[in-house]
Amino acid sequence: MATPSGRSPVRRRSLFKAAGLGTAGAAGLPLMSACGEVSGGDGNVQEVDQTLDILPEYKEWPLPIEPDLVGEPPNHPSGYLQYPNPPAQAITNTPSNSGSYQVYVPNWGPTPEKDDPYFLAMQEATGGTKIEFVQSDGEAFNQASGQWIQAQEFGDAIFMFGWMANSQANFNETVVNRFADISGLVSGDISERWPLLAGRGDAAWADSVWSTDPENPQETAGIYGVPWELSGGPGNGFFYRADLMREANLEPPTTVEELLEIARTWSDHQAGRWAIGGTDYMSRAWFRLEQSGWLWDGSGLVNNNERPEFKEWVTFQRTLTDEQLRHPNVGTPDFDGKTLQRTGEILFDQDGWNRWWQITEMVRASGEDPDFELHPVGALTYEDREPMYHAASGVGAWLFFRKDLGEDAIAELLDVSNYVAAPYGTKEFETVFFGFEGEQFEYDADGRPAFTEAGVTSFQDSLTYTAMGGRTQYLLEGPPDIMQARFEFDEQILPYLDSNPFQGLRLTSPEAGTNAGTVFDEKVNDIIYGRAELSELDSAIETWKADGGDEAREFYEKAYKQLHGE
Amino acid sequence: MAVTAGPAERAAEAPPKTRPPGSRRKPLRHRLRRDWPLVVLTVPAMVQLAVFFYTPSAYSVIAFMDYSPYRPLWENPIIGFTHFQILFEDPYFVDALFNTLQFAFAQLIFVFPISIGLALLMQSIVSTKLRSVFQSIVYLPYFFSWVLVVTVFNQVLGQDGLFSRWLLGMGGERLDIMRDPDTFMFLAWMQWTWKDAGWGMIIFLAALASINPALYEAAAVDGANRWRRLWHITLPGIRPVIVLLLILQLGGILSVGFEQYQLQREMVGWGTSEVLDTFVYYRTILASNGESLGTAAGLFKGIIGLLLILAANHIAHRFGEQGIYQKS
């Protein structure tokens, strides 16, 4: 044991000496330099120009079989009531390739084994190209992908949804610095090698263009990704269990007030029954809040956050919490709306359109509940206002290639993208979405592919080859009754679809605006889930404005005025 | 009763400060010739430290740069303390710092003594079989990941957990402790205790084993009761280990963990659970603030940790303890 000192245990001089040494050591030379400005973060505007010379020459790829339900694509897609059996062969000259690649994809479904027979069959069908899909949970993928891309550790290609790209800082800078410019390969007439990619259309390809110099966007433009689906029509659905509603003598709601009444009648917190599941992105339209976040009021842009309708929306959300009408796991990673709706623990839940037909088919296949019936709720209104439904628009995702991948390798992967671009009603579509007969699916009595157990457990809803690109045309999918119902729903909702005030532009918000928005959203979540009081909303709005909201407004207003000539 | 030597005796025993004749330091090459096997043995550890610790640490310099991953490191302009300025002006950083300190002190005050208590309790168990069962039960959770710990707590204390079901069965209300920001500190304390207290106990047990049993026998013969023996033999005997662990904990005071808070963030809200590590993750890696700001926050943590270690070690020396290191 050391000898105790008679001096004071804490000597100020020694402490200051240690503090000084520590600080100097850590700071080093930069201590000597003055504070400078942090560059970047000003936001970016990319024009989606369908007249650019670099775009592939459009050559229509006509559907081999005329659909039974003919809509007005993209907002009112067509569909087949009867599955086109046998499906048409879209690709007659199968390429001969032998490369081996890794593609990073997000995934919310099952994760097939690397050596799943499906991959081997697809390798053969697409011309010999071996692709290993590195799958990660969608949320984890969204959070980690930015670091993978910056570190250039994403295999040979990566699939990114638009909402993932939007959540990343300066994604436009990332694209031109980390991904390959494929203009040299896909510009001009590509119909001989990639007829289906040539049939994707100018709108899809123009939405895959980024410019290296924002000051000179036309001259420095390049195509940096293979566009995924060109979306249209109602973006998502708010689904309800029609069978359980009937059982409880309840009518589907047409207004927010009716929805609340149904929820009050049906929910029983003590019994573990909550009418409402996820509502966050679907319910904003019920209060006429803008999907883009900004509304032109005739003289300038007003953000959703500042509008009285936003306070009404927050109050509605808070009511769901206070009156215990919403499943308590909503807003946490533990919430599994699909399962809860399937088991009847919740009545209503929001999701993409696949929820409707996929969950119905699964329940029908298992025979667990013969009465199971799912339907989407229409455009709900609040206080008798005009209905509004948020529409999907533009390209939903992209497949990006590694910058140094090399033209031959990219061309080989484009062969696969060409295969995947085959629409519903083709053999290629069947292999990509249903697998192979006798393995992942069998034809049912109506001649439609129905997943086998192997298909359900290792394939259905898994994002693998579907990530390699979009199709020439989006057509409705599902069993005939659901297809018919969806077609009618789309027709009925068409007049209420909103329009994007920034249509024709791809905007990256200024950093300050994005950061202030994130902080504001967290505060709003606190209010919604009962961790903060509603009275705190006004001060949160003021903070948002000061911390970056007003800067974002300036940026968006400038873009809006340029676009609309205001 | 005199079980330890007093200052006067110890001063008399202290070695003389001057070197004995002939003990002059040998030249480096002589020492190398003599000690080269030892030097070779340290090489793997040195390489590991250099590659995985010192090299990445050198990149801390980006905290003072306008860094972009799309240009070589040396082309990034140095902007001094701008990122630190941004950091300290950010109210969310201040909140995260406050939460971190709150959790750190709670760990120090409410978990650290539990480990000591558990070790003393364990030492008092006479049956070897019972002791080994107790020991296994208590320190097993240390090897569980935070994901598992939070899941187990959710299964027990969650809305649909064991307690909720039991309460509902008794005609009561559902328990809401997993999502209540007001009780998060208590929840976190339960999780720390369950996961970490057992591991801390092992270290104190090792220290207890090093106390000479003759001291207890002598004290018992002198008529010292159980509390007297605890106060005069046990606690002074493990004091150096307590001080050592305290210093190490102080050094990592701003590193209260990440997973535990990140996993429960959406259940209790960011305002309650945001600590410095989650701040760096959410506000710089995921948000658009960039790597420089995150590095600045990390560097700040490191400097505070270093200062606390130096200060605590210095105080330990002043109180006559060895601390974690001593000047040669």
Q: Is A426 helix (H, G, I), strand (E, B) or coil?
A: strand
C-alpha–C-alpha distance, residues B87 and B74, integer Å: 23
pLDDT in tens, A246-271: 999 999 999 999 999 999 999 999 88
Domain-embedded: residue B34: no
Q: Determine what percent of chain B falls in helix, strand and coil, rounding each to the nearest 5.
A: 75, 0, 25
Q: In Å, how far is A232's CA from the nearest CA of chain B?
A: 29
Give domain A237-391+499-564's CATH superfamily: Periplasmic binding protein-like II (3.40.190.10)
Q: Considering CB atoms only, which of A169, A178, A522 is closest to B288?
A: A169
Q: Which residues of B touch A511 (CB under 8 A)?
A: 288-289
Between strands A237-241 and A374-376, the pairing is: antiparallel
Nearest to A426 by CA among A21, A84, A151: A84
Listed in order, strand segments (DSSP E) in B201-314 are: none
- Across B280-296, average pLDDT: 83
* Contact criterion met (CB < 8 Å) for A4 and B319: yes
Q: How far is the C-alpha of A280 from the C-alpha of A278, rounded, in Å?
A: 6
Report d(CA B247, CA B108) in Å as an integer. Answer: 11
Largest CA distance in chain A: 98
Q: Residue B253's closest CA among B270, B234, B277?
A: B277
Helix A550-564 and helix A511-528: axis angle, to 10°? 120
Task: Tell me which chain A residues have a C-beta less than 8 angstroms from the C-beta of B68.
Answer: 39-40, 173
What residues does A56 pair with on adjacent strands? A188
Contacts of B165 in chain A (CB under 8 A): none
Q: Which of A14, A90, A412 is nearest to B315 (CA)?
A: A14
B185 membership: H or E segment, kind and range: helix B184-192
Those of residues 315-334 in A touching chain B at CB distance below 8 A are 328-329, 331-334
Q: Are strands A441-443 and A449-451 parallel, antiparallel or unpaired?
A: antiparallel
The tens digit of pLDDT for each residue in A211-235 reads 998 788 888 999 999 999 888 899 9
- The answer for A 26-45 residues in CB contact with B (under 8 A) is 26-28, 30-31, 33-41
Question: CA-to-CA distance for B28 and B22, rounded, in angstroms?
Answer: 17
Q: Across chain B, what does the average pLDDT equal?
A: 86
Tell me which chain A residue has its CA closest to the CA of residue B268. Answer: A531
Q: Which of B11, B266, B299 sits opposite A331 (nearest CB)?
A: B266
In a domain? residue B64: no
| Domain of B227, in residue numbers | 80-318
Q: What is the pLDDT along chain A (566 residues), one digit of tens a residue?
A: 334 444 444 444 444 444 444 444 444 444 444 567 777 677 888 888 888 999 999 999 999 888 999 999 889 999 999 888 899 999 988 999 999 999 999 998 778 888 888 999 999 999 999 999 999 998 889 989 998 998 899 999 999 999 898 877 778 889 999 999 999 999 999 999 999 999 999 999 999 999 998 788 888 999 999 999 888 899 999 999 999 999 999 999 999 999 999 999 999 998 889 999 999 999 999 999 999 999 999 999 999 999 999 999 999 999 999 999 999 999 888 899 999 999 999 999 999 998 998 899 889 888 889 999 999 999 999 999 999 999 998 899 999 999 999 999 999 999 999 999 999 999 999 999 899 999 989 998 888 888 888 887 777 667 899 999 999 998 888 888 999 999 999 999 999 999 999 988 888 888 888 888 988 999 999 999 999 999 999 999 999 999 999 999 999 999 999 888 87
Would an 8 Å CB–CB cutoff place B86 in contact with chain A? yes
Closest residue of chain A to B176, computed from CA coordinates: A328
Domain parsing of chain A, residue ranges: 45-230+393-477, 237-391+499-564
Residue B275 belongs to a domain: yes
Q: Which two tokens stand for residue A62?
A: 């006509």
Residue B285 lies in a domain: yes
The single residue listed with the structure tokens 């696969």 is A416
Q: Is residue B196 part of a domain?
A: yes
Q: Distance from CA of residue A151 to its chain's centroid? A: 23
Are A1 and B240 in contact (CB < 8 Å)?
A: yes
State whether B326 and A2 contact (CB < 8 Å).
Answer: yes
Whether the upstream peptide bond of residue B181 has omega within 30° of 0, thus cis, is no
What does the radius of gyration of chain B's CA atoms come to, in whole angstroms?
A: 25
Q: Are B3 and B219 in contact (CB under 8 A)?
A: yes
| Helices A480-493 + A354-366 axis angle, to 10 | 160
Nearest C-alpha of chain B: how many angstroms from A211?
16
Give the gap in angstroms from C-alpha B130 to the nearest C-alpha of chain A: 35
**Is B31 inside a domain boundary?**
no
Q: Looking at the DSSP assignment, which residues form a beta bridge with residue A45?
A: A507
Chain A stretch 78-137, residues whose beta carbon is closer than 8 A to a beta carbon of chain B: none
Q: How many CB pairs under 8 A join A and B?
A: 148
A18 vs chain B: nearest CA distance in angstroms? Answer: 7
Distance CA A167, CA A534 (A): 27
- Residue B223: beta bridge partners? none
Structure tokens at A280: 């966050």
- Give, in degrees to the nearest 5, the angle at Cα A352 between A347 and A356: 55
Please indicate, yes or no, if residue B13 is contained in any of the structural domains.
no
Cβ neighbours around B124 below 10 Å, total: 10
Tokens of A440: 């992942």
Q: Which of A522, A539, A547 to mutate to test the interface with B (most CBs of B within 10 A)?
A: A522
Residue B104 covered by a domain: yes
- pTM score: 0.83
Single out the residue of B261, B240, B141 nearest to residue B197, CA to CA: B141
Phi, psi of A551 (to 5 degrees): -65, -40
Q: How far is CA A496 from CA A238, A483, A489, in A?
A: 15, 20, 12
Would the CB atoms of B79 and A37 count as touching at under 8 Å? yes
Q: Which residues of B touch A328 (CB under 8 A)?
A: 159, 179
Reply yes or no on whether the pLDDT at B8 is more than 50. no
CATH of the domain at B197: 1.10.3720.10
Q: Which residues of A39-53 are buried (b: 16+ CB within 10 A; e: fewer)?
A: eebebbbbbbbbebe
* Whether B85 contacts chain A with CB within 8 A: yes
Q: CB of A65 within 8 A of CB of A80?
A: yes
Question: Cβ–Cβ of A515/B179 closer than 8 Å?
Answer: no
CA closest to A24 among chain B residues: B303
Cβ–Cβ gap B77/A146 under 8 Å: no
B265 touches chain A (CB under 8 A): no
Q: What 3-state DSSP class applies to B301?
A: helix
- Name every chain A residue with its beta carbon within 8 A of the beta carbon of B159: 328-329
Q: Tell me how many domains chain B contains.
A: 1
Q: Chain A partners of B179 at a C-beta cutoff of 8 Å?
A: 328, 529
What is the least distance, in Å, from the CA of B31 to any CA of chain A? 28
**C-alpha–C-alpha distance, residues A320 and A326, integer Å:** 5
**ipTM summary value:** 0.78
Is CATH 3.30.750.24 correct for A45-230+393-477? Answer: no
Contacts of A18 in chain B (CB under 8 A): 307, 310-311, 314
List, as ranges, residues 168-227 from B with C-beta within 8 Å of A.
Answer: 168, 173-174, 179, 181
Q: How many residues does chain A have?
A: 566
- Closest B-chain CA to A140: B286
As a whole number of angstroms, the distance between CA B252 and CA B245 comes to: 11
